[in-house]
Amino acid sequence: MSSAILELDVCCGRASSELGQKIAEELHKPLCNLEIKNFSDGEIWVKFGSNIRGTDLFIVQSTNPPAENLMELLIAIDAAKRASARRITAVIPYFGYARQDRKDQPRVSITAKLCANLITEAGADRVITMDLHAPQIQGFFDIPMDHIYSSIVFTKLLREINIENLVLSSTDVGGVKMARAYAHRLGAEFVIINKKRERANSSEVMNVIGNVDGKNVCVVDDLIDTGGSFVNAVTALKEKGAEKIYGACTHAVLSGNAHEKIENSFLEKLYVTDTIPLKQKNSKIEVVSVAKVIAEAISRTNQYKSISSLFDVDKDKI
């Protein structure tokens, strides 16, 4: 492929319509006309309403359930390929089906790999995504992948809020690296929560490793689904003497009665991004947009510039 800079086009699927519009505004470009509808039986139909031949096309679509969101992305990629787009990048703010990333039980699927294969076979040349549930999923793709992080947005937000006596915490030992990274950037301490999971979508907090007595805590995580793990972590911290407890989560899946759990929890405020649209309003949830970060990643990809420099949050490039 030639290194000449191609004309940039951005479109979005229905799962990311609001975020897609914000990204287009950051890029100072109108969204490419992408017509999507369903037949009477639910079958998805996609058509590009304008010429995309020879363009550098970025399709913004999260693949959170229902599965139609993933199918819509695949059909849009296929349509773009058949319309002769020069390069197709799937911009997936939230990469769904990522939690099944290994065979932790006999006779189960590795859906993260399956989805990576589907996106590649559909015709994508590149993928941009944010805060994968497991970083090793990058290796599931046989095409280039750029993994960007919401921490650049949350770190800036937490600095502006300027919470005194701040301690960072993860919801379990798997999130220690994330909590430690936030703590390092903010010059704060961090604690660890040891959690025992009895079954999928159910958890029990066992122990808080570290001192939170009389301190304000921010719990960071990549996603909240049922809210059980997150709220249990908040409860455990409160029982250990934490004062005000905040949360910062990239992907607000929030299924079942998650909103009710958060509303009734000890949380002061939960900050989430707009990688997934909120299904309902919640007095304790505040949305911060990652459109600017994703738009910058798109612009730099189009211009063959480095994206890794976006991760240097101390320079406030975004």
Q: Residue 317: pLDDT above 50?
A: no
Read off the pLDDT of each residue in 108-137 and give the average, rounded to a whole number.
Answer: 95
- Read off the tokens for 297: 């990643």
pLDDT at 172: 80
pLDDT at 102: 87
Does residue 22 have an active-site annotation?
no
- Read off the tokens for 162: 């300027």
Give the domain 8-149+291-312 fold: Rossmann fold (3.40.50)
Read off the pLDDT of each residue in 156-185 and give the average, rounded to a whole number.
Answer: 90
Where does the pLDDT of residue 204 fall: very low under 50, low under 70, confident under 90, or very high at 90 and above?
A: low
* CA–CA dist 149, 129 (Å, integer): 9
- Predicted TM-score (pTM) of the model is 0.92
Q: Which CATH class is domain 151-288?
A: alpha beta
Q: Where in the chain is the domain with CATH 3.40.50.2020?
A: 8-149+291-312, 151-288
Q: What tens digit of pLDDT does each residue of 186-203 get? A: 999 999 988 765 566 555
Of the listed ranges 10-14, 108-112, 166-170, 193-197, the least confidently predicted one is: 193-197
Active-site hit among 22, 195, 215, 261: 195
pLDDT at 196: 66
Q: Residue 124: pLDDT above 90?
A: yes
